[in-house]
Structure 1
Amino acid sequence: MDPAVDIIFYTRQLHNGGVDRVVFNLAGEFLRRGIKSSIVVDVDNPHSPFRTLIPEGIGYDVLEARGPIARLFKLRSYLRKSRPSAVMCASFGFPNLYAIVVRWISGLRFHLMLTEHCFPSVDRAGPKPWQSRYWFFPLAHYLYPFADRIVAVSKGTALDLAKVIGIDPKSISCIYNPLVSDGLIEQAKQPVDHPWFADDTVPIVIGVGRLEPQKNFSLLIRAFARVRAQMPARLVILGDGSERDMLRNLVADMDLGGDVALLGFVPNPHAYVAKADLMVLSSDFESLANVVIEALAVGTPVIATDCPSGPAEALNHGQCGTLVPVGDLDRMSTAILEALRERPAPIARDWLDQFSEREVADRYLDLLALDAR
């Protein structure tokens, strides 16, 4: 533990998704400004590939707290020792409530910000739906207003959060995720170790994300099968998760093994996305859809489902990419065919400024009332 830490990012654990990258990006930008931060988790996740990607100079502390009482008292003890200027909660659900209560019982004065990265009406706050409906939402209604700031990563997420916990939407600020940086562009230039990317005669469609039901990669695979029946093409999917075996079986059942590659988790997905001809997001819901913005940043055209609520905001309601209805196999396959044949031009760069690490960090620091040094 670093006793001189300025900001603590508190979350349940590291996973293998976009929230972890967002925290790393923001913490890294803070550090470049002389603001030290640490990531504090209730429990370690030894299976998370993101544990090895924490930027140098950013702390990582594990509370080893596995129950509500343990979380309250171990977090209180940690904060009393570290005495940060601010705590930013980066998990949807009960960790946010723990942080509010801990500030009451700790006797400490620090700026408390709750950041919402999920879509609350769909994502569950607990492992079972009833825990959200009967415990989390009612408690959040009373406790969330005691935080100094509440931030959502998209306007749609802010409205959804306000609705499900019954608070004033004006009490929630919207700050998009810090995704675009010189570092991302440099990573995108790195080579990739896959022979398909050395062959520019066959276009490559790419999907990136956790292999979980929310992402609906089975829809993407089925849409690609229709595309492949009409023109040569290949599909690469990056990510890992509980649906890995199901998706592999689907690829085999559809006889697509020669043209679909599930490459698992890769530390630098930007290099693959930059060299693909098209990024497709097939999700049923998204808070913001980080991969869409990252694809735009490296110049790769995007097709995304118009799901609640992030893709429409990320794509400026279809002006910066193509939106298709959620779950619509016909519209998705048609959109992919059109994009591969027409090769859309890259979008104007100024649209991406609102997603830059520098601009987003400025907004967070303004809300946290901390000065960049």
Structure 2
Amino acid sequence: MSFDVTAIRDQFPILKREIDGKPLVYLDNAATTQKPQCVIDALVEYYTTSNSNVHRGAHRLADEATRCFEAARDTVKEFINAPKREEVIWTTGTTESINIVAHGLETLLSPGDEIIATGMDHHANLVTWQQACKASGAVLKTVPVTDDGELDQVAYEALLNEKTKFVAFPQVSNALGTINPVKAMTKKAKEFGALVLVDGAQGAAHGWADVQEIGCDFYVFSGHKLYGPMGIGVLWGRESVLEDWPVWRTGGEMISTVTLQESTWNVLPYRFEAGTPNVADAIALGEAIRWFSSLDHDSVVAHEKALLDHATKLAKEFDGLTIVGNAKEKIGVLSFVLDQGHPADIGFLLDRQGIAVRTGDHCAQPLMARFNVPGTARASFAIYNTLEEVDALFVALKKVRSMLA
């Protein structure tokens, strides 16, 4: 099936913007993706016709909002191939999802237990485990990163032992684009009886969120990296694990009974969803997932690979540019430095030419230290990007390099 990128682009209003008189070239998709019109329409439709709190109301609007809200949960269940809808918990995003799990670990771990994270983790998937270890007396160990930007699998297997109680790793590195072998890593951890969390913030946007295929116990992702709104995300947890997992926040909705002396918790998933939920964004995320799932997956993958291959070829031919992260398996992320100029300067000068990239440490300071760089400039591609936009990036970089010389 051919991939009609022009038809895709027409569905994203923001791509028609100009920056200082130049067409916007948006290459910051690993930070957040843009939203198709159908997702924007879903938000407007909810607030225009059905705005109401869910679950508790006895009127028409509350019933409509509840049905749409819970239908979005069903959409997520199907998208990630979860066994049960009750395992899908709404959160504000990947960070909150991980914190819910980490809070439970603080009470479940004992001194001397071990957590394994990695040297390429986003801070949200590293700092949380540091804090859990401090609170519980557990020990944090990390999988090193190779020169190519891959997780050292030999070292990983050597870290696993009978003290390993919990393992967390990213499905895809947000800073390098490395695709990690999460199914194989999960299988190894399970040989020692460890619980496994997969950070799918970058992986879900590429259709790789099959939790039964991976075999993990927790899978987390954010809506805004999946063509959906900001402020909504998902924690999926295996029912047998979640049933006894300590609650994080308390309040309305997550309770079953309350007296002046004690309370009992609601059933899944509501025991982890205290307070008024983000109804509109959950509904819009459901729409984003339906939109994304309607595309031909193989064509999407082929298109994004073509973008990365073209960018990598131009990067290798570009004098003074060094790619940071050369894993064999990558998504559309090109992280790089120039021999002249700080990444922040590169980003500023590209912006003056209408090119939007990310610069800095990408919330992965240990990884930047591993490669001995203060940060990188990162171009990250999505389904609406074009080969012409990749060309525009490198034309702009030539101008940047001449200005920094």
After TM superposition, is the score higher than 0.5?
no
Task: Report the TM-score, using the length of structure 1 for normalisation.
Answer: 0.29
TM-score of the aligned structures, taking structure 2 as reference length: 0.27
Of structures 1 and 2, the one scoring higher in RCO (CA 8 A, sep 6+) is 2
